[in-house]
Amino acid sequence: MMQTDVAIVGAGPVGLFAAFECGMLKLTSVLIDSLPETGGQCAALYPEKPIYDIPAHPSIDGADLVAALERQIAPFAVPRLLERRVERLEGTRGAFSLYTDRGDVVQARAVVIAAGAGAFGPNRPPLAGIEAFEQTGAVQYFVRRREALRGASVVIAGGGDSAVDWALALAGIAERIYLVHRREKFRAAPESLARLATARERGSVEFVVPYQLRGLHGEAGVLEAVEVATLEGESRRLKADTLLAFFGLSTDLGPIAHWGLHSAMHHIQVTPSTCETSCAGVFAIGDVATYPGKLKLILQGFSEAAMAAHAIHPIARPETALHFEYSTSKGVPALQ
């Protein structure tokens, strides 16, 4: 059982910054995330990709942005409950209880949902016995460190940006790269497609089109080959030790979808000026929130975090009037 002013569901970039904004208003918070590490999509999906539209950072990699946010919230020593999915929400404005799948109960005066696309998971190809290969890392859906694939023989499956970007990023690192797609055409930025065509000409990426994944061959989680087939049934075995499957993310909000909050197309509707949902005391920010003019950008999520924290202050501290102050006047607590 934990008690806090604000329970933040989701420790992606926006949830992390919400913890900072709460701290600046002297509100305590707890971060809860189903992933084993903080950073949401930035950490899990594109840690080594540069982001170009974070204000005052001409370019910053996903992992570096998360590390910077962690440094920014460090003075507030925000507790985290990681590898826990929030399942249930009970209570009313000023007195909520959140329940996780690991049996934790967090009591909070207000709730901030910064759940992005939900407790997200990759769309997994329906291949027999895939779990054993997932456990050993022979089948992966996110690349954490491209250096880990140095000298590997890699099958990349998918036809979108992720498949194309990783084929390019691993060229020159992996020993062999097969790019498997069910169509001849890839859906990616024109510049990436041009680079991919060059990589193909140079022989650093071999196109396997129009093929689909059909099976995995190997023992005890050690992958030896990936079987692919055309719609007509013509099959090939690609010798490989790693399969990177990029078939998108499931954008299921999971249990949050059943909390009775007004939603539209898997997103939670909020009042734009406060980010409060249809349930008083429950706020939604970042990718999960929607309102007219919403842009799914990290910078917009940061601004929503500030608005939500200010709107929460009267709920958590009804006895104290909130006087707006700049951070330059307030400063931050010294690190212990």
* E strand or H helix at 118: none
Using rule CB under 6 A, residue 298 touches ligand FAD: yes
9 phi, psi to nearest 5 deg = -90, 105
Query: Segment contacting ligand FAD (CB under 6 A): 108-116, 147-155, 212-220, 230-238?
Result: 108-116
Among the listed residues 7, 15, 96, 98, the single contact to ligand FAD using CB under 6 A: 15
Length of the chain: 336
- Cα–Cα distance, 180 to 162 (Å, whole number): 13
Nearer to ligand FAD, 5 or 287 (CB): 287
Using rule CB under 6 A, residue 63 touches ligand FAD: no
**CB of 38 vs ligand FAD, minimal distance in Å:** 7
Number of residues that bind ligand FAD (CB under 6 A): 37
Among the listed residues 5, 21, 276, 287, the single contact to ligand FAD using CB under 6 A: 287
To the nearest 10°, report the CA torsion of 168, 172, 176, 180. Answer: 0
Report the phi/psi class of residue 286: left, alpha or beta, with left for phi > 0 and alpha for psi in -120 to 50.
left
Q: 216: which residues sit within 8 A by CB, 6+ positions away?
A: 127, 128, 129, 130, 133, 139, 223, 225, 226, 227, 243
Nearest position to ligand FAD, beta carbon: 116
Among the listed residues 69, 177, 286, 311, the single contact to ligand FAD using CB under 6 A: 286
Q: 295: which residues sit within 8 A by CB, 6+ positions away?
A: none
Using rule CB under 6 A, residue 159 touches ligand FAD: no
Query: Segment contacting ligand FAD (CB under 6 A): 41-49, 197-205, 276-284, 325-333?
Result: 41-49
Using rule CB under 6 A, residue 53 touches ligand FAD: yes
The first and second tokens of residue 307, run together, are: 């608005």
- What Cα–Cα distance (Å) separates residue 27 from each residue in 7, 112, 141, 315? 11, 13, 37, 11
Name the nearest CA neighbour of 169 among 134, 208, 143, 194: 143
Among the listed residues 256, 268, 275, 279, the single contact to ligand FAD using CB under 6 A: 256
Nearer to ligand FAD, 119 or 223 (CB): 119
Using rule CB under 6 A, residue 47 touches ligand FAD: no
Query: Which chain residues interact with ligand FAD by CB under 6 A?
Result: 9-15, 32-35, 40-42, 45-46, 51, 53, 85-86, 114-120, 254-256, 286-287, 296-299, 301
